[in-house]
């Protein structure tokens, strides 16, 4: 797998806005066949992503899923529904879902299994709430990673997203910190599962064009997960073109 660069638009982009966004973005990314690119839009815009991105080098996906395949779960969306819309990726366990919907590590693991059962890849978000020394961060990450270790590591991406680096007013975590954490996550994964050495580990949290290159240069940083900066397609394209050198 090449460097993985993607965005979640979070609760932004109506289906009409998604059409304009994706039509602007697609040609700006055409010259990046060696990168693995993705866009995660709200459920209501996934059909637009399928329509506008089919045949391109950009994959699409969802920002959440219910662990069950079908049934009496009003308002929820299942993995077979997402697979039917051609999703490659489904994000699971984002900080905002853990915070706003009380999602636990066990629920996140059940969602990961649903995603994988339907042949898609789960992008699992992990990260500490507040800045803390590395050993405390590792404890928090271990708690989040442990329930995932029974699932199919070939269909998993880990996104390290420290809550303190996410959202308006925050800044990307320092690149050397991200390198240390990613190296630790890689070691923890491999010690738990010898076949987990190839799980991509991407970084998310206030990524912008200024921070992207230094982050990509760090050891074990296999890609970037972009939030608000990517709402401007030109900025997302700039980040997608960042090279791992300063
Ligand atoms: P942000 O979001 O780039 O707006 O901080 C990142 C994320 O939540 O993945």
CA of 89 to the centre of ligand 1 (A): 17
Burial class (CB in 10 A: 0-12, 13-18, 19+), 150: exposed
This model's pTM is above 0.95: yes
DSSP bridge pairs for 224: 5, 203
204 CB near ligand 1 (under 6 Å): yes
Atom number of ligand 1 nearest to Cα 10: 8
* Residue with the two structure tokens 């590591």: 153
Radius of gyration of the chain (CA): 17
- pLDDT reading at 245 higher than 70: no
Q: Rounded mean pLDDT of 126-151?
A: 96
- pLDDT reading at 62 higher than 90: yes
- pLDDT reading at 165 higher than 90: yes
State pLDDT tens for residues 193-223. Answer: 999 999 999 999 999 999 999 999 999 999 9
State pLDDT tens for residues 13-50. Answer: 999 999 999 999 999 999 999 999 999 999 999 999 99
C-beta of residue 13 within 8 angstroms of C-beta of residue 45: yes
Task: Take residue 232 and report the two structure tokens written for it.
Answer: 């401007």
- pLDDT reading at 100 higher than 60: yes
Atom number of ligand 1 nearest to Cα 207: 3
CA of 227 to the centre of ligand 1 (A): 4
C-beta of residue 114 within 8 angstroms of C-beta of residue 76: no
- pLDDT reading at 233 higher than 60: yes
Phi, psi values for residue 170, rounded to 5°: -95, 170
CA of 163 to the centre of ligand 1 (A): 9
Q: State the pLDDT at residue 244.
A: 82
């Amino acid at each position: 797998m090449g460097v993985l660069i993607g965005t979640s638009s979070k609760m932004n982009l109506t289906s009409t806005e998604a059409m304009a966004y994706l039509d602007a973005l697609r040609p700006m990314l055409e010259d990046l066949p060696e990168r693995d690119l993705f866009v995660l839009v709200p459920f209501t815009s996934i059909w637009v992503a399928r329509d506008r991105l089919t045949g391109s080098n950009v994959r699409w996906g969802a920002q959440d899923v219910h662990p069950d395949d079908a049934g009496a779960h009003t308002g929820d969306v299942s993995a077979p529904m997402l697979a039917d819309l051609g999703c490659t990726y489904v994000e699971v366990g984002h900080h905002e879902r853990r915070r706003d919907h009380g999602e636990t590590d066990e629920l996140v693991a059940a969602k990961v299994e649903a995603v994988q059962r339907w042949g898609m890849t789960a992008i699992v978000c992990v990260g500490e709430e507040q800045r803390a020394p590395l050993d405390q961060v590792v404890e928090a990450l271990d708690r989040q990673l442990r329930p995932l270790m029974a699932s199919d590591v070939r269909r998993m991406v880990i996104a390290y997203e420290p809550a303190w680096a996410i959202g308006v007013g925050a800044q990307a975590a320092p690149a050397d910190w991200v390198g240390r954490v990613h190296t630790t996550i890689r070691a923890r994964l491999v010690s738990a599962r010898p076949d987990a050495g190839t799980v991509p580990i991407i970084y998310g949290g206030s990524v912008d064009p200024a921070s992207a290159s230094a982050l990509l240069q760090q050891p074990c940083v296999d890609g970037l997960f972009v939030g608000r900066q990517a709402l401007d397609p030109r900025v997302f394209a700039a980040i997608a073109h960042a090279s791992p050198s300063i």
